[in-house]
C-alpha cells in the first residue's frame, strides 16, 4: 500500500554508511549540543559489514533528559577521548561514502559544528540521505505517527516488524544500536511489500 512513495529508498546504493550521535542534549540559547558518542555502521551489498562507536569527551554538561535517553553520565563522559583525537579514525569511515542518517537535520549540523570548532577538515563524501525525511510521504499516507521531522525509528521498527535493538538496552538509545536499527529500517523500506 502506497509503495510508490518509497521509490527513493530503491534508489539507494547497495553500499553506504549509517551515522548516529548521542549528545549532551538539544540545541538551546548556547548553541548546538556536544557529541558524546558517534556510531557508524558500514553497509556492503545491503548487509551490515561492520559497526564502530567513538566515545568523545563533551565540553558541555550532559542534561538530565539526555542522560535518561542514552544512559551516559557526566562522570563517564569525562573519561572519553577528545573529539579531535578521534577525528582521523572517523574520517576513514566517512570518506567518499553516502552517509545515511535517521534525523539528519539534528545529527549532521552538530557533526559539522564540531569539525569547525576544532579546526578540522571534513573529508569528501557522496552526500547525506535523511531516512526520516524520505519516509514522510509514505508514513503520512498510512496515517503513521509523524513529527515535523518524520516518522521515528521506533514507529518504523514496529510497522516493519524489525527487531527493536533498543529493547536489549532497557530502552536506552545507543549510537551503534541505532545505526544498526536504521539499516534494518532502510532496507525494510527498500523492499517493503505488505504481502510478504
What whole-number distance in Å separates Cα of residue 100 and Cα of residue 127?
A: 9
- Contact between 45 and 14 (Cβ < 8 Å): yes
Check: CB of residue 164 under 8 Å from CB of residue 188. Answer: no
Q: Supply the Cα-derived Rg of the chain in whole angstroms.
A: 17
What is the reported pLDDT for 196?
43
pLDDT digits (tens, 9 = 90+) for 64-73: 999 999 999 9
Q: What length is written for the chain? A: 196
Domains and CATH numbers, the chain: 3-188 (3.30.420.10)
For position 194, what pLDDT does the model report? 61
Mean of per-residue pLDDT scores for the chain: 94
Point out which residues pair with 128 in neighbouring strands. 99
The percentage of the chain sitting over the pLDDT mark of 70, rounded to a whole number, equals 96
The C-alpha atoms of residue 127 and residue 120 are separated, in whole angstroms, by: 19
Predicted confidence (pLDDT) per residue in 119-170, tens digit: 999 999 999 999 999 999 999 999 999 999 999 999 999 999 988 876 776 7
By three-state DSSP, how is residue 150 classified? strand
Task: Read off the pTM.
Answer: 0.94
Q: Place 17 in a pLDDT band, splitting at 50, 70 and 90.
A: very high
What stretches of 12-103 show up as alpha helix (H) in DSSP? 64-70, 74-77, 83-94
Amino acid at each position: 500500500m502506497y509503495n510508490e512513495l518509497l521509490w527513493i529508498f530503491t534508489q539507494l546504493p547497495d553500499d553506504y554508511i549509517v551515522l548516529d550521535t548521542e549528545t549532551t542534549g538539544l540545541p538551546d540559547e548556547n548553541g548546538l549540543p556536544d557529541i558524546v558518542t558517534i556510531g557508524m555502521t558500514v553497509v556492503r551489498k545491503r548487509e551490515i559489514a561492520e559497526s564502530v562507536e567513538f566515545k568523545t569527551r563533551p565540553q558541555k554538561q550532559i542534561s538530565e533528559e539526555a542522560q535518561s535517553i542514552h544512559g551516559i553520565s557526566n562522570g563517564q563522559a569525562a573519561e572519553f577521548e577528545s573529539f579531535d583525537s578521534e577525528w582521523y579514525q572517523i574520517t576513514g569511515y566517512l570518506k567518499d561514502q553516502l552517509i545515511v542518517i535517521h534525523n539528519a537535520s539534528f545529527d549532521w549540523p552538530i557533526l559539522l559544528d564540531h569539525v569547525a570548532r576544532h579546526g578540522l577538515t571534513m573529508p569528501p563524501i557522496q552526500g547525506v540521505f535523511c531516512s526520516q525525511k524520505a519516509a514522510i510521504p509514505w508514513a503520512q499516507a498510512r496515517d503513521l505517527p509523524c513529527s515535523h521531522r518524520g516518522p521515528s525509528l521506533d514507529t518504523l521498527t514496529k510497522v516493519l516488524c524489525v527487531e527493536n535493538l533498543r529493547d536489549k538496552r532497557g530502552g536506552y538509545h545507543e549510537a551503534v544500536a541505532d545505526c544498526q536499527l536504521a539499516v534494518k529500517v532502510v532496507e525494510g523500506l527498500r523492499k517493503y511489500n505488505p504481502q510478504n
